[in-house]
Structure 1
Amino acid sequence: MDCKLVGPETLCFCTHRYKQHKTDFEVIPKDRPICVPCRVSHCQCKSYHYVPLNGTQPIRCRCKHFADQHSAAPGFACNLCSKCSGFHSSFTCGCGQPTYTHETVVETKQERSALGKPVGQDVPYAAMGGLTGFSSLAEGYMRLDDSGIGAPSVEFLESPVTNMDHPFLKAFQGPSSSAHVSSQLPGSSIDAMQVSHVRNSKQDDMAYFEKRYQERLKKEKPAKQEGRSPLPSKNP
């Protein structure tokens, strides 16, 4: 699974973007892995190396220093301490594996096609990387194409809607015997109330909000009656 598809604006370990690296070749190198060196002046980066972010912050090495506090030269030694033998982070990726088990792979269009992975159309833009569409911006565990986790199975898509599914699915499912049975199960009244909040296409806006308002009044009425205390008796 491709956990991350690199695009033009994706940062490298050297803190420069992918589009600032050498991505265009007149002749594709035969050596593997393909090196994509940084073109920024005085940068020591020899090849693009992706490093994930923790939100908007760089991740930490086992030496407790951030990734951008390490050298971009091969080996990625720490600039602030001498005990660090190289950047090594146990930050967990969305796939469930730590960062140090991942590697940055540069593939050609022919190589990806041979592996059955999606490829984009030829475009006159440099440094497009692995972006083939909007779905490429998502993490690997959320992409449903062959580069990600893959499409759900037919059994999963055709499985019947159960009482544990989202009320939206239960509201728009076709009439079935399971719908009548679920109304007798414990907690079905809560589910029915949630389903009734889904707007029907045949109702206009005023009728929809009026229905919601009446449902809220019915829920608040018992609470108000319980909160009333009897008047104190005047008889001694």
Structure 2
Amino acid sequence: MERIRIDKQASNAVDAFLEYRRIVGEDDGGQLFSEDEFKKYKEIMLPRRMKNRLYVSFGVPGQIDCKLIGPETPCFCTHRYKQHCTDFEELPKERPILLPCRARGCQCVSYQYAHMNGSRPVRCQCKHTTTEHSESPGHPCKKCSHCSGYRSPFTCGCGQPGYAHVTLVETKEERMARGHPVGRDVPYAAMGGLTGFSSLADGYLRLDPSGIGPLSFSILKSDRLESDHVFERANTSLSQTAGKDIYLYVLSCFF
């Protein structure tokens, strides 16, 4: 296997482009901003994101977040979360908060996650796929007349059927009131519900609801009673370990 080698200048250029893409997302319409345009964009958008970030999750109300939404997570309309409206100058007062799709011609009025079976969306109880249902409100089936709207009987890893799940869009304050992690304020576009490394895993695989990532070495090596499970100790120390989150945005682009 032949290795590709690049010098430090080229490596810095790649890092700069990745940072640009994380911040700008698709707001440049496919045409890279000039240095002045990028600087002006950051002056406007970064303070807005740090203040008005929205957290998006998918789960059964009152239970764990089965899926935390990231920039590349697909919507029912097949477009990615990052292709929806995710930045607001002022947070909406109405609930639920709507995040309409910005893709040309799409009728999606707000981001909505649909259960996936591997890389494919789960079929409706009428046996048709999500793409065979309309992206408009209610998601009526375009193939059969007896289906009044998409309803998935798929059983999630949490043990509940797909139709019992909802896509929740909430503010930082609302998420904290539910006792769920908010991570650190970041300037990146469409971060959704990602607050740490373990946020990339499904809810029933995260082992704890924190999303803060792997346990610290001090917790793993600390003295504890035999009955005191290591993950129980971690959950009682969230306030001490939350500051150690590691944002792996490049990995999040695959989820």
> TM-score of the superposition, structure 2-length normalised?
0.58
Q: Which amino acid aligns with 2:82?
A: K
Q: Is the 2:66–2:204 contact (alpha carbons within 8 Å) kept by the matching residues of 1?
A: yes
CA 81–156 in structure 1, closer or farther in 2 if over 3 Å, else same = farther
Gaps of 5+ in 2: 1-63, 216-225, 231-255
Q: Which has the higher contact order (CA 8 A, sep 6+)?
A: 2
What is the Cα deviation at residue 144 of structure 1?
Answer: 3.2
SS in 2 for 1:104: strand
Match of 1:73 in 2: 136
Q: Which residue of 2 aligns with 1:41?
A: 104
Q: Using the alignment, how far apart are the partners of 1:52 and 1:156 within structure 2?
A: 35
| Aligned amino acid, residue 126 of structure 1 | A
Is structure 2 residue 220 aligned with structure 1 residue 157? no
Name the aligned partner's letter for residue 227 of structure 2: E
Compute the displacement of 1:80 (Å).
1.1
Tell me if structure 1 keeps the 8 A contact 2:75–2:81: yes
TM-score (norm. length: structure 1): 0.62
* Alpha-carbon distance in structure 2 between the residues aligned to 1:155 and 1:31: 47
Segment drifting more, 24-33 vs 138-147: 138-147
Structure 1 unaligned blocks of 5 or more? 159-236
In structure 1, the partner of 2:161 is 98
Contact 2:109 2:136 (8 Å CA) reproduced = yes
Structure richer in strand, relative to its length: 2
- Asked if the contact 1:118–1:145 (Cα under 8 Å) also holds between the matched residues in 2, the reply is no
Aligned residues with identical type, % of pairs: 66
Per-residue deviation, 1:67: 1.2
CA RMSD of superposed structures (Å): 1.9
Once the two structures are TM-superposed, the CA of residue 126 in structure 1 deviates from its matched residue by 1.0
Measure the CA separation in 2 of the matches of 1:113 and 1:57: 32
The residue correspondences of 1:83-94 to structure 2 (distance < 5 A) are: 83-94=146-157
Partner of 1:120: 183
What residue identity is the alignment partner of 1:74? Answer: P
Asked if structure 2 preserves the Cα contact closer than 8 Å seen for 1:140 and 1:147, the reply is: no
In the alignment, which residue of structure 2 is the partner of 1:13? 76
Aligned residue pair count: 155
Report if aligned partners of 1:13, 1:48 keep a CA contact under 8 Å in 2. Answer: yes
The one-letter amino acid of 1:120's match is G
CA distance, structure 1, for counterparts of residue 110 and residue 123 of structure 2: 21
1:133 matched to which residue of 2?
A: 196
Displacement of 1:9 in angstroms is: 0.3
Q: Give 4+ residue runs of structure 1 displaced > 4 Å after superposition.
A: none
Query: Per-residue displacement from partner, 1:137-157 (whole Å, max 9, x unpaired)?
Result: 001112133358xx9xx8362
Contact 2:122 2:154 in 1 (8 A): yes
Q: What do the CA deviations read for 1:185-227 (whole angstroms, capped 9, x no partner)?
A: xxxxxxxxxxxxxxxxxxxxxxxxxxxxxxxxxxxxxxxxxxx
Aligned to 2:60: none
| Structure of larger gyration radius | 1
